[in-house]
Structure 1
């Protein structure tokens, strides 16, 4: 898949896919979006309430930005974060190196950890920091058997529904609901009505909350606990 590196409004990089006319992140700010949608709306509430390791499932590893920011958060958290991420089409390291993360991730330790996220072996558990365990899975979500009642937070970061409709079905959100621990949540940048209807059909409790810069709303859904 051909991609182009683009700089977003907050100075961080994203990738543009000409064949899909789609960006990997918000052009209003890749880091801002990831922090707002996945960490503040998803990870932080669960960390605050946790008394045991917090288990994260990410749908769409992509550039590794969500994983890097979660790893960064683990460096100042006493709680272990286990991070499973699914990516059917991993990006080559040559593309990752073109992102120029050193321009907006100024900490050399984090720059090195970003590279380690991408060079870590697939389908194996890897401890990248004292409180961060990574497992990258190179499979399609629909072909993956997920453990039941396992994950506290799901980062749903697939391409938009009109670009990747097979990822936004009732069956997918039922699969993810079954994999989520009671009281856990799913967060996504998307706020489309069809998405929320699919979540409701799968049993989720859905709430509309303020979106990141450039986007009025986003979605958070909870599994009854």
Structure 2
């Protein structure tokens, strides 16, 4: 399948698949979309929401607070890169797991301009992609990265993550990735009060999330999209 590197409206690149008329990131601005959906309404939201809980846990258990993030669709590595940047600013250690069924080629990686746009070393961005799959790598004192090459159907985590970035290709071209069975896996993978964010806002997607137990809210979307979704796992204790 043919793939092209294109420049989006904010000057950042993405990979375009002509046969599907689909991109890895929004043509209205790849970096803008990533920051709006996954950082503003994901990372910043959950870090502020759980700040007191993290501090109290650290005091009570004498352990370092940590935020665990699962990315569904590691793809170009853009979301991992900006999360690394933001985790340094927030000073919250992040354990980041990126799942990808079809890793992008290194030739494609070298044509993406994210490092330049985000003012980090190009060699650092390239290294994120060069890191060995299936192993956990300590990138900095606030960021660990594990890349896993697997299909989303094979995800079997339980009560592990505070936050999920759901960044799969759209339901128009891959509807099988936006089903109740997939969102059930996401629900199980999250800790209680964990959050899933996605750029999608289709009614069928929202209903699939709700069917497995998520509390779903519509939020203003990034440039080019009216809305996006944020879903919360809320389990009421019987105690």
For normalisation by structure 2, the TM-score amounts to: 0.90
Task: Map 1:135-150; keep pairs closer than 5 Å.
Answer: 135-146=146-157, 148-150=158-160
Match of 1:204 in 2: 214
- Give a deviation string over 1:160-219, Cα, whole Å, max 9, x none: 101111101101001110110101110000000000000000100000000011111000
Give the secondary-structure state (helix, strand or coil) at the position aligned to 1:98: coil
Q: Does the 8 Å contact 1:6/1:13 carry over to 2?
A: yes
- Give a deviation string over 1:84-114, Cα, whole Å, max 9, x none: 0100100111111011335423333xx3321
Larger-gyration structure (1/2)? 2
Match of 2:118 in 1: 105
CA distance in 1, matches of 2:142, 2:108: 28
Q: How many residues align?
A: 222
- Give a deviation string over 1:2-42, Cα, whole Å, max 9, x none: 31011011110011012221011111100000000001001
CA distance in 2, matches of 1:137, 1:167: 17
Q: Does the 8 Å contact 1:12/1:103 carry over to 2?
A: no
Task: Map 1:5-154; keep pairs closer than 5 Å.
Answer: 5-48=5-48, 49-50=50-51, 51=54, 52-108=65-121, 111-146=122-157, 148-154=158-164
CA distance in 2, matches of 1:5, 1:29: 14
For normalisation by structure 1, the TM-score amounts to: 0.95
Gaps of 5+ in 2: 55-64
Decide whether aligned partners of structure 1 residues 77 and 29 sit closer, same or farther in structure 2, where only a CA change above 3 A counts.
same
Q: Does the 8 Å contact 2:74/2:98 carry over to 1?
A: yes
Match of 1:156 in 2: 166
CA distance in 1, matches of 2:151, 2:98: 11
- Give a deviation string over 1:94-150, Cα, whole Å, max 9, x none: 111011335423333xx332112101110000011111000000000112322x111
Give the secondary-structure state (helix, strand or coil) at the position aligned to 2:33: helix
Gaps of 5+ in 1: none
Task: Map 1:166-185; keep pairs closer than 5 Å.
Answer: 166-185=176-195
CA distance in 1, matches of 2:196, 2:114: 27
